[in-house]
Amino acid sequence: MPVPYVPTLGSVRWEDPIPVLLEAVVENAATDRFLPYDKDLRWGERKTERVVVDAIEHDDGQTLIPTLAERGGGVVKVHVYGTAPDGLTAGTDLARKLIAVHGATRGRVVWFLGPDQPEAYAQGVGTRVQLKDFTDGPGAAPGVPVHEDKQLHADAGFADFAEAMANDGFAFLHEQMRAGAVGPVLTVLHDGRVAGAIGPMETMADAAGVARLLPQYFGVLPPYRGHGYGRALWRAAMHWGHQHGAVYQLLQTEVGGASDRLCAAEGLTSLGFVKQADTSEFPVG
């Protein structure tokens, strides 16, 4: 396991009880319940992705752990752990078989690279797992004013911002805000209008009972990039997490993207890379 990553839960820390977490997601597969420390618990009433327990393959060289998600007509993912030279081929073959068995519409293969690997190997097809440790404090203060509010910023055009940033998840977040289902969102204003946002701001205990800051939706409107708004929002979020007792935050950033570069500049620790590709990208046979 070059990256601490558990199927259906996502990235964890190396000091987390990884064998216990793997056992828990396997045991929980027969239900549609969330584990109490699942970060996705805040988004729904039932878990819509599960491990396909009877299709797990394990030997001395590699482990293949498949999952099935309900979204999009059914998506099979096969997580490939190990160093076997034919690991991706075996993962692809298993994914294709499970697509047919479960009537899924898509299949993906997920594999991992350690933090010592060149990031070029993950460029365009992977995310970097980033760790923010609050042990030494929240870091530098924001350079511009950042506002915290659970309201919709109607006068400041949050709805327009959310619509423009729908591809970054803000339309969904806006719906959750209107339902009162999530924590506050931090914003920066430009001429009185929302130019960027990060949120929702929430913490949750992990499997060991340690408080962590949950991942957020994060973005700045294209015309207002380059003003330092993204960095200010990020730093404000870190201060919020520290003030609310978070010990750490884990997130995944697109390799080489703006958030990835920001996290590197802000001193986050890379835990490695998670790569994914559709089965259609691999040769048949």
- Give yes or no for residue 24 having a pLDDT over 80: yes
Mean pLDDT (the chain) is: 94
Task: Check residue 151 and give its pLDDT.
Answer: 66
For the segment 196-249, what is each residue's pLDDT rounded down to a tens digit? Answer: 999 999 999 999 999 999 999 999 999 999 999 999 999 999 999 999 999 999
Domain locations in the chain as residue ranges: 5-127+275-281, 136-246
202, two tokens: 């929430």
Distance (Å, whole) CA 221 – CA 230: 10
Tell me which H or E stretch contains 233. Answer: helix 229-243
Task: Check residue 149 and give its pLDDT.
Answer: 80
**Which pTM was predicted?**
0.92
Instruction: Mention the CATH class of domain 136-246.
Output: alpha beta
Sign of CA dihedral 268, 121, 125, 38: negative
- Give yes or no for residue 285 having a pLDDT over 80: no
For the segment 71-103, what is each residue's pLDDT rounded down to a tens digit? Answer: 889 999 999 999 888 999 999 999 999 999 999
Express as a percent the part of the chain with pLDDT over 70. Answer: 98
Q: What CA dihedral angle connects 98, 25, 40 and 2, to 10 degrees?
A: -80
Highest mean pLDDT out of 30-39, 178-187, 276-285: 30-39
